[in-house]
Every structure is written in structure tokens, then in C-alpha cells.
């Protein structure tokens, strides 16, 4: 079996020991290898087994564990809101973020074509591979071990999602927050870079003429959601807008429109600074 446990990893593939340690689920190297095998790699290497069956299984295990956690953890939420909260936790973007935290993309076995088009950081591939890993833990260990892994990886996602508003996405929650505080309507400025097959989008969100959050991702939506989350957190804590050097480096992302931190593109709003809500008059200028 190519690349089986006990043999060194294929050329260019990092050893998966660190990933096994991070998962801490008692998974064997051989089954982890299967869970990491994308169909593009399998097809280019003589039709090896892919991770797709494990992904199918892991999707159901993840859904069951998250649903159970929400049912028990939020007894006062009605069925419709529980369904929305579950969708916010197990969607592709959320799964890909968890996978990135594990550096899972470094370990995926990809074909040359998929590798050349940025497959290691594609949200769809990361999400599918994470589900395959969960399925592998279930099939080799048991439901309790798979459940423990899901809780370790997704309890923070559940807690973060539960803080969102009725729309259960950060853009909606930010708009609700700025509306309730009479801060104006959030506006998003997005830049893109890179070749067509490997685009990177960088977003900044403006509120009342100031930037309160930035984000980056492989899609415009992902970048805007990250920026909205950063802005929601900043405003909720009563922090001021991003300015100068802080604007360029906060949240680990370079700023957009350097030198324009005090000017929004066609912004609307009353110019109020959320950081002033606890002091001074509510209508004071920012």
C-alpha cells in the first residue's frame, strides 16, 4: 500500500505525527492516511481508496453530536432557532476554519492538479477532509471518542455562534448591533489579489466613517464575515476604530486603503464612536 503507516510520507508530505497528537483521538496512522486521501490523489496514483466514504460517515456523526449538544445546552431555544444555530456551526466555512486551526491542509494528500490550484486551502476540501477524520475516529474507535473529538473542536464554535443575532451570521449581527446603538449602517470594502485559481479577498468594514474590523479569505463572503466578526467584537467591547499602524496589523491582516483610515467610501452614519457609549452624550461626534 503506497504511503502506508510505517513508511516515510510521500515526497512533499509532512509527517502526520503532529496531527495525530493534535487530534488526540487514538486514531491509527493507516486510517488517518485514508481520511486524508483526496480523490485527486487517489486517481493519480492508481485508484487508491479515497476519503469520501469516511466523509459521508463523518458528516452524520458531526451532525448528531452537534445537534445533541445544542438540544442539551440550549433548552429554551425553539426548534427553528436550534436548526439555524446548528447550520451556523456545521457549515462549510465553519468546518474549514476548524480545519485551518489544525493545519489540516498541510497533511491532505492531493493530486498535482488540485495542488496547483490552491487545493490545500480550499474551504470545500478542508471541510470534507475534517468530516472524513471524524468518520475515521468513529469507525476505528467508537461514538464516545468521536463525540469527544467533536466537542474539543466545535464547542468554541457553538459558543461563538450562540452569541450571534437572529440571522446567525456576523454581518447580520453587526448590523443589528450598530442599528441598536444608532451607529449607522456597516459598509464593506473588499480588495482581491492573486491569480483566478487562487484568489485572496481582503475586506474592511466601516461604521460611521471608521474601520472597525478586517478579514481575509478565499471568497468575498468569507472575508466580509471575518471583518464583521472582528467589528462586532470590537464594538461590543467598547473599543475604538482601527487607526494608523493598528489598522494595518490588527487581526493579523494588512489593512485596506492605508492612509484612508478616517475616510469611508461613501459612508453613511452619524459618526458616533462606539467607544464613547459609556461616557459623554450618546450623540457626541466620533
- Contact between residue 277 and residue 181 where contact means Cβ atoms under 8 Å apart: yes
Global confidence as pTM: 0.68
Torsion, Cα of 104, 106, 109, 114 (10° steps): 110
- 34 and 154 within one domain: yes
* pLDDT given for residue 165 in this prediction: 59
- Contact between residue 206 and residue 186 where contact means Cβ atoms under 8 Å apart: yes
* pLDDT given for residue 82 in this prediction: 92
pLDDT band at 161 (very low <50, low <70, confident <90, very high): confident
Cell of 107: 497533511
- 193 and 131 within one domain: no
pLDDT band at 280 (very low <50, low <70, confident <90, very high): very low
- 182 and 235 within one domain: yes
221-273 pLDDT, tens per residue? Answer: 889 988 998 998 899 888 888 875 444 434 444 445 443 333 334 333 444 45
pLDDT band at 15 (very low <50, low <70, confident <90, very high): confident
For all residues of the chain together, what is the average pLDDT? 82
Number of domains in the chain: 2
pLDDT average, residue stretch 90-110: 94
The C-alpha cell 452624550 sits at 281
* pLDDT given for residue 8 in this prediction: 44
Question: What range does the domain containing 224 cover?
Answer: 170-276
- 223 and 134 within one domain: no
Single residue among 162, 189, 205 that ends a domain in this structure = 162
Please identify every residue annotated as catalytic. 59, 131
- 35 and 141 within one domain: yes
Judge residue 21's burial from the number of C-beta atoms within 10 Å of its C-beta, 0-12 exposed, 13-18 middle, 19 or more buried: exposed
Single residue among 133, 162, 191 that ends a domain in this structure = 162
- Contact between residue 92 and residue 7 where contact means Cβ atoms under 8 Å apart: no
Amino acid at each position: 500500500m503506497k504511503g502506508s503507516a510505517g513508511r516515510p510520507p510521500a515526497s512533499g508530505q509532512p509527517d502526520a505525527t503532529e496531527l495525530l497528537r493534535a487530534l488526540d483521538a487514538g486514531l491509527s496512522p493507516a486510517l488517518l492516511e485514508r481520511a486524508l486521501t483526496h480523490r485527486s490523489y487517489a486517481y493519480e496514483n492508481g485508484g487508491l481508496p479515497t476519503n469520501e466514504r469516511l466523509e459521508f460517515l463523518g458528516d452524520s456523526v458531526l451532525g448528531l453530536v452537534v445537534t445533541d449538544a445544542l438540544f442539551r445546552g440550549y433548552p429554551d431555544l425553539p426548534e427553528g432557532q436550534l436548526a439555524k444555530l446548528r447550520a451556523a456551526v456545521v457549515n462549510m466555512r465553519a468546518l474549514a476554519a476548524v480545519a485551518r486551526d489544525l493545519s489540516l491542509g498541510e497533511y491532505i494528500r492531493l493530486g498535482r492538479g488540485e495542488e496547483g490550484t490552491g487545493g490545500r486551502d480550499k474551504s470545500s476540501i478542508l471541510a470534507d477532509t475534517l468530516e472524513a477524520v471524524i468518520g475515521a475516529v468513529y469507525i476505528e474507535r467508537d461514538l464516545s471518542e468521536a463525540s469527544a473529538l467533536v466537542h474539543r473542536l466545535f464547542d468554541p464554535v457553538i459558543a461563538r455562534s450562540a452569541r450571534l443575532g437572529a440571522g446567525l451570521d456576523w454581518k447580520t449581527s453587526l448590523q443589528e448591533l450598530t442599528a441598536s446603538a444608532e451607529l449607522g449602517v456597516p459598509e464593506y470594502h473588499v480588495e482581491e489579489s492573486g491569480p483566478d485559481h487562487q484568489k485572496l479577498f481582503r475586506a474592511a468594514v466601516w461604521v460611521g466613517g471608521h474601520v472597525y474590523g478586517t478579514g481575509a479569505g478565499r471568497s468575498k463572503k468569507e472575508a466580509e464575515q471575518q471583518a464583521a466578526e472582528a467589528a462586532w467584537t470590537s464594538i461590543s467591547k467598547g473599543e475604538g476604530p482601527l487607526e494608523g499602524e493598528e489598522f494595518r496589523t490588527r487581526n493579523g491582516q494588512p489593512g485596506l486603503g492605508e492612509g484612508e483610515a478616517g475616510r469611508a467610501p461613501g459612508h453613511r452614519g452619524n459618526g458616533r464612536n462606539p467607544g464613547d457609549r459609556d461616557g459623554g452624550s450618546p450623540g457626541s461626534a466620533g
